[in-house]
């Protein structure tokens, strides 16, 4: 089936897969990258062949040993004359907004992609619970920032699927992250790998169904299915044998999309000694953690009602942080205004849950002063007073 996107004819893949594999043991397919967002470069040192870089940006569906390595195997088999470098920037729980802010650190600092594959639809739904505007700001933030860095880069939006989205699509509804991805794709002329719609069509045709696909982290046969759908979109988006033409960017869909995102220096925050930039002794902190978020230093405080102050320029402010069983809540004041309480999302049992907490959006574009302070929060049978911030972001 063909679809016209931004004046470009794009293939929308519908794939029917045969008999599923028998191994459905949970976790047998999951192999995180141990916090290293860059996969090993398997063959980029080959001499006398064209070299291409493929980057993957997404959450745990990208991080897992699933559609991503399967797709790279398919690309290498299909293009033996190309030496591929893979940048595997999958990071559990991260959504499109986080992707826009971490693109520089986790992708562009590792190499310049010829192809970027973005996976955000599932996490924007079940982790972010984003409305359409926020989804668009995240998707466009990734896409526009990538194209500003390399106008020749081709981009595929890999719209993976969870149970909620599968049920919506089955009823003829379009999930909010799918709407956002479609609008951004239409605006920038991108290819879309619509895995959810393809899976619904497959089930109706007697092929792979949701039961075999299993859940948002697909079964091994679900990963094969997803990789095949993404492969068709990749084939429609890029010819690896030739350099892609540079794109001329349209005006932004939303001028407040996160394509101007940048990191702030954690050490610019004034509030010592209560607020300090340290590497926590995570072994002494009760609860489970995800490896990437235990690496490096964080801005940390465990005392309630001690103010931290800093300044930034921009219209948006947020923090990539972890919130666990010992987490307090945050109160934020911008430019001397009233403090607003932000309930940190620490409702995942013992997990120190990583996510991007927005402090302010749609501010006037200029200089702002910020005050933060911790307020105690009831967490189960305990009261938390700790906040750990991995990154501060402004846009």
pLDDT of residue 42: 59
pLDDT of residue 31: 40
Which pairing describes strands 276-278 and 298-301: parallel, antiparallel, or unpaired?
A: antiparallel
Q: Domains in the chain, please, with CATH?
A: 2-237 (3.40.50.1110), 261-394 (2.60.120.260)
Q: Tell me which DSSP letter residue 239 carries.
A: -
Residue 43 CB contacts under 8 Å (≥ 6 apart), including other chains = 76, 83, 84
Which pairing describes strands 82-90 and 50-58: parallel, antiparallel, or unpaired?
A: parallel
E strands, 59-201, are: 82-90, 115-119, 154-159, 191-194
What are the angstrom distances between the C-alpha of 239 and each of 111, 115, 174, 368? 19, 10, 30, 46
pLDDT of residue 38: 65
Residue 331's region, left for phi above 0, alpha for psi from -120 to 50, else beta, is: beta
pLDDT of residue 320: 96
pLDDT of residue 39: 62
pLDDT of residue 381: 85
pLDDT of residue 349: 87
pLDDT one digit per residue (tens) for the chain, 395 residues: 333 333 333 333 333 223 222 222 222 233 444 444 566 565 666 667 789 999 999 999 999 999 999 999 999 999 999 999 999 999 999 999 999 999 999 999 999 999 999 999 999 999 999 999 999 999 999 999 999 999 999 999 999 999 999 999 999 999 999 999 999 999 999 999 999 999 999 999 999 999 999 999 999 999 999 999 999 999 999 999 999 999 999 999 999 999 999 999 999 999 999 999 999 999 999 999 988 888 889 999 999 999 999 999 999 999 999 999 999 999 999 999 999 999 999 888 899 999 999 999 999 989 999 999 999 999 988 899 999 999 999 99
């Amino acid at each position: 089936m063909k679809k016209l996107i931004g004046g470009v004819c794009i293939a929308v893949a519908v794939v029917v897969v045969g008999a599923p594999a028998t191994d459905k043991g949970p976790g047998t397919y999951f192999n995180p990258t141990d916090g290293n967002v860059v996969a090993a470069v398997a063959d980029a040192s080959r001499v006398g062949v064209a070299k291409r870089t493929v980057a993957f940006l997404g959450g745990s569906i990208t991080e897992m040993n699933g559609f991503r390595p399967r797709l790279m195997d398919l690309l290498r088999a299909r293009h033996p004359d190309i030496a591929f470098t893979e940048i595997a920037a999958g990071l559990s729980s991260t959504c499109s907004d986080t992707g826009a802010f971490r693109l520089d650190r986790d992708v562009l600092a590792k190499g310049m992609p010829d192809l970027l594959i973005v996976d955000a639809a599932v996490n924007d739904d079940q982790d972010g619970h984003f409305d359409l505007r926020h989804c668009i700001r995240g998707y466009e933030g990734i896409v526009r920032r990538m194209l500003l860095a390399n106008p020749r880069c081709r981009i595929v939006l890999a719209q993976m699927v969870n149970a909620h989205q599968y049920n919506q699509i089955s009823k003829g509804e379009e999930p909010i992250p799918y709407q956002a991805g479609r609008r951004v794709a239409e605006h920038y002329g991108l290819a879309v790998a619509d895995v959810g719609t393809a899976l619904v069509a497959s089930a109706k045709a007697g092929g792979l169904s949701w039961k075999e696909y299993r859940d948002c982290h697909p079964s091994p046969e679900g990963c094969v299915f997803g990789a095949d759908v993404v492969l068709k979109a990749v084939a429609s988006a890029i010819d690896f044998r030739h350099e892609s033409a540079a794109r001329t960017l349209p005006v932004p869909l939303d001028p407040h999309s996160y394509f101007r995102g940048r990191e702030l220096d954690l050490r610019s925050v004034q509030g010592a000694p209560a607020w300090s930039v340290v590497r926590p002794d995570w072994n002494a902190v009760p609860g489970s953690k995800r490896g990437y978020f235990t690496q490096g230093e964080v801005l940390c405080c465990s005392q309630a009602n001690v103010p931290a102050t800093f300044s930034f320029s921009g219209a948006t402010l947020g923090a990539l942080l972890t919130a666990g069983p010992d987490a307090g809540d945050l109160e934020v004041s911008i430019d001397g205004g009233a403090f607003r309480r932000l309930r940190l999302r620490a409702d995942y049992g013992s997990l120190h849950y990583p996510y991007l907490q927005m402090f302010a959006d749609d501010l006037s574009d200029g200089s702002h002063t910020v005050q933060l302070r911790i307020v105690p929060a009831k967490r189960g049978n305990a009261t938390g007073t700790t906040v750990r911030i991995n990154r501060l972001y402004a846009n």
